[in-house]
Amino acid sequence: MKLRTFFFFLREALKGLVRNRLMTLTAMGIITIGLFLFGMFFLITANFRYFTTLAWEEVEIRVFLEPAARNPEAVGHKLAALPGVAKVTFISKAEGAAALERMLGQKNLFLSGENPLPDAYTLKLTETADPKEVTRLASDIPGVEEVVFGRDFVEFLQMINHFTLVVGLIFLILTALAVLYIVANTIQLTVYARRKEIEIMKLVGATDSFVRWPFLLEGVILGLLGAGLAVFLLTEAYAFLVQRLGLYRRFLPLRADQELKVQLMIVLFVMGLFFGSFGSRISLKRYLKV
Amino acid sequence: MSKKNLNIGEEVVPLLVAKELTKIFNNGVVALDQVSLSVQKGEFVFLVGPSGAGKSTFLNLVIRREVPTSGLIKVNQQNIALLKKKEIAHLRRSIGVIFQDYKLLPQKTVYENVAFALEVIGASPKEIRERVYNVLELVGLLNKAHVLPSELSGGEQQRVSLARALVNRPLLLLADEPTGNLDPDTSWEIMELLREINRRGTTIVMATHNREIVDKMRKRVIALDHGKLVRDTPKGGYHLEA
Ligand SMILES: Nc1ncnc2c1ncn2[C@@H]1O[C@H](COP(=O)(O)OP(=O)(O)OP(=O)(O)O)[C@@H](O)[C@H]1O
Ligand SMILES: [Mg+2]
């Protein structure tokens, strides 16, 4: 396309937006609301995933060694080499006893010679690890007596994780479809208001794509403006929420990193672009049949 | 006949041909019934007939606003029914149309309305300016160039729509009752313009009810009635002379 033609389209698009001010504001408002909702679900999903990863980090597997194990270090190396193991910490029987005494609030629980606790390792897992598999492999290592982990807690976490992923995705898709539907209908109104113009363009020999371009640009401009506004409102609201809930961050840790903000912006702008252009394309179809 | 054949080439090939052209609308109305005719380059043809005879339908078939139910319609040897989308756009650029309801864009000035037809085909700004002012001069609207259609009289609006039809320098000009809503004097102004344009080489097909104009112009007359071609007379009048 020639640059001049592009500017002609852009001028027509801007004229259209200014001329149909009310429609423009309505469409933009609806895109903003839709993208705001979409962004909200996006943030909720992201935070849920964040909670579960935080909880995951708390998951530990304890590996108790046989009392007679001759070479605890070798076992440690083998454990560290297992798939899914992020970190291995050695807890000697003395440390185990000290921890137990601290927990029970009682001193000198055992005489130093008769400490019945075995040497042990605690394992931290990577995000994608399968605790059951790690447990099974760890039990097979010679010198390991018993492997213990909070099976119920882990399974609960895994369930929550899947659940948020699926529910989050469904919600995101549903809001996306709803927004697309509303946007297409709103643009349909602006197209309807200008059906005579479209008819005349076609009758004097305009090609479909020539007719489509200004509307496409209008849609894109609307989408981007709506996205910009939604990003602004959401980040402000979210920052406020994070600040207000700062007190409770031990119980309700919220993601407040820059990366999330950038992701949110990218997602909303891409959606806005998509809604605007796709919405105008769908709405035009009928009126191009002249 | 033999004389014509000696005159080899373009003169012999008609600009517009219809063969057994039939249009039946979805509601069952037979708007055109087996109409056959041909129009040579440079002709001025009146299409007459009572309301509902099928005149507008015929013009709509020429610019492919409608598709024939059966039969054939050709412009410049192109079968209109077989055109692809892009080709339809190009066909329309070579045909100027004056619509009975003008079809002007109310938010655009006279100048912009006419320029629109050139912008649509991607003409350069310089070319657009030159051609638009030329054609506005031709139809006598230079002094109203930057006025909105709503501020014009019916005859002036009709002339804007004529200017837009002409600005692409079409081979063929279709006019659907261009004097429909005009008083006799204004009608004659429009007719003078059309006659002048025809003299400069543009083929014109004009649908009309206006008996006085048809009778005075003494051009070819094609009469339709209930979708049938009932008469085709060179230099005829609105009715068959006794
Ligand atoms: N889109 C359509 N759908 C159904 N019927 C139609 C359609 N367009 C026209 N007709 C019918 O076809 C017939 C011919 O209509 P057309 O408009 O061609 O007549 P006309 O000769 O132009 O009449 P007028 O002089 O009143 O303009 C009429 O009976 C009309 O009702
Ligand atoms: Mg008609």
Domains of chain B by residue range: 7-233
- Residue B105, pLDDT above cutoff 50: yes
Among residues A113, A132, A149, the one where a domain terminates is A149
Q: Do A203 and B107 touch (CB under 8 A)?
A: no
A205, B86: Cβ pair inside 8 Å?
Answer: no
What is the average per-residue pLDDT within A176-186? 77
CB contact under 8 A, B90 and A8: no
A203 and A245 co-located in one domain: yes
Q: Do A203 and B116 touch (CB under 8 A)?
A: no
Question: Residue A42 carries which side chain, given as an amino acid letter?
Answer: F
Report yes or no: B188 at the A interface, CB cutoff 8 Å: no
* Site of tokens 């609201």: A237
A50 and A166 together in one domain: yes
User: Is B83 at the interface with chain A, CB within 8 A?
Assistant: no
Please tell me the total count of domains within chain A: 2
Instruction: Indicate if the alpha-carbon torsion angle A82, A84, A87, A92 is positive or negative.
Output: negative
Minimal CA separation from B107 to chain A, in Å: 9
Residues A174 and A256 in one domain: yes
How far away is chain A from the Cα of B89, in angstroms, using its nearest Cα?
4
- Grouping H, G, I as helix, E, B as strand and the rest as coil, residue B224 is strand
| A184 & A223 share domain | yes
Nearest to A31 by CA among A185, A173, A174: A185
pLDDT at A218: 87
Taking one residue from A and the other from B, the number of pairs with CB-CB distance under 8 angstroms is 49
Q: What DSSP character marks residue B32?
A: E
Question: Does A110 share its domain with A252?
Answer: no
Per-residue pLDDT band at A112 (split at 50, 70, 90): low
Nearest to A200 among B65, B90, B105 (CB): B105
B3 pLDDT tier (thresholds 50, 70, 90): very low
Amino acid identity for residue B106 in this structure: P
Please work out whether the CB of residue B51 comes within 6 Å of at least one atom of ligand 1. Answer: yes
| Separation between Cα atoms, residue B122 and residue B54, nearest integer Å | 34
* A197 touching chain B per CB within 8 A: yes
Structure confidence at residue B4 (pLDDT): 45
Give the domain-ending residue among A107, A124, A149. Answer: A149
Residues in CB range of B74: below 8 A, 6 or more apart: B16, B17, B18, B80
Q: Is the pLDDT of residue B8 over 60?
A: no
Question: Do A50 and A64 belong together in one domain?
Answer: no
Same-domain status, A45 and A98 = no
Question: Would an 8 Å CB–CB cutoff place B90 in contact with chain A?
Answer: yes
A37 and A80 in a single domain? The answer is no
Interface contact A204, partner B, CB < 8 A: yes
HEC sequence for chain A: CCHHHHHHHHHHHHHHHHHCHHHHHHHHHHHHHHHHHHHHHHHHHHHHHHHHHHHHHHCEEEEEECCCCCCHHHHHHHHHCCCCEEEEEEECHHHHHHHHHHHHCCCCCCCHHHCCCCCEEEEEECCCCCHHHHHHHHHCCCCEEEEEECHHHHHHHHHHHHHHHHHHHHHHHHHHHHHHHHHHHHHHHHHHHCHHHHHHHHHCCCCHHHHHHHHHHHHHHHHHHHHHHHHHHHHHHHHHHHHHHHHHCCCCCCCCCHHHHHHHHHHHHHHHHHHHHHHHHHHHHHHHCC
Work out the pLDDT band at B5, boundaries 50, 70, 90: very low
Q: Which CATH superfamily is domain B7-233 in?
A: P-loop containing nucleotide triphosphate hydrolases (3.40.50.300)
Q: Which of B75, B109, B119, B132 to mutate to test the interface with A (most CBs of A within 10 A)?
A: B119
Same-domain check for residues A121 and A177: no
A140 or B145, higher pLDDT:
B145
Nearest-atom index, ligand 1, CA of B27: 4
Higher pLDDT, residue A191 or B51? B51
Model confidence band, residue B241 (pLDDT cutoffs 50, 70, 90)? low
pTM above 0.95, yes or no: no
Q: Please tell me whether residues A114 and A246 are part of one structural domain.
A: no
Of A101, A118, A149, which closes a domain?
A149
Q: What is the CA radius of gyration of chain B?
A: 18
Higher pLDDT, A16 or B165: B165
Residues of chain A contacting residue B84, judged by C-beta atoms under 8 Å apart:
none
| Distance between CA atoms of residues A245 and A262, nearest Å | 22
Percent of chain B at pLDDT above 90? 73
A136 and A80 within one domain: yes
CA distance B29 to B58: 14
B190 min Cα distance to partner chain A (Å): 21
Q: How far is the CA of B186 from the centre of ligand 1 (A)?
A: 26
Kindly report which listed range (A117-131, B137-151, B196-210) carries the lowest average pLDDT score.
A117-131
Please identify every residue whose CB atom is under 5 Å from ligand 2, which is an ion: B 56
Distance from CA of A279 to the nearest CA of B (A): 22
The residues, ordered by sequence, that sit 6+ positions from A119 with a Cβ below 8 Å of its Cβ are A64, A65, A69, A72, A90, A91, A92, A93, A96
Q: Which chain A residues have a beta carbon less than 8 Å from that of B169? A: none
Q: Is B166 within 8 Å of chain A by CB?
A: no
Mean pLDDT of B143-169: 93
Q: Which residue range is the domain that position A67 belongs to?
A: 60-149
Q: Is the pLDDT reported for residue B214 higher than 90?
A: yes
Residues A51, A68: one domain? no
Both tokens assigned to B75: 């412009």
Q: What average pLDDT is seen over chain A?
A: 83
Q: What is the pLDDT of residues A11-24, one digit of tens each?
A: 888 888 888 788 78
Contact A200 B121 (CB under 8 A): no
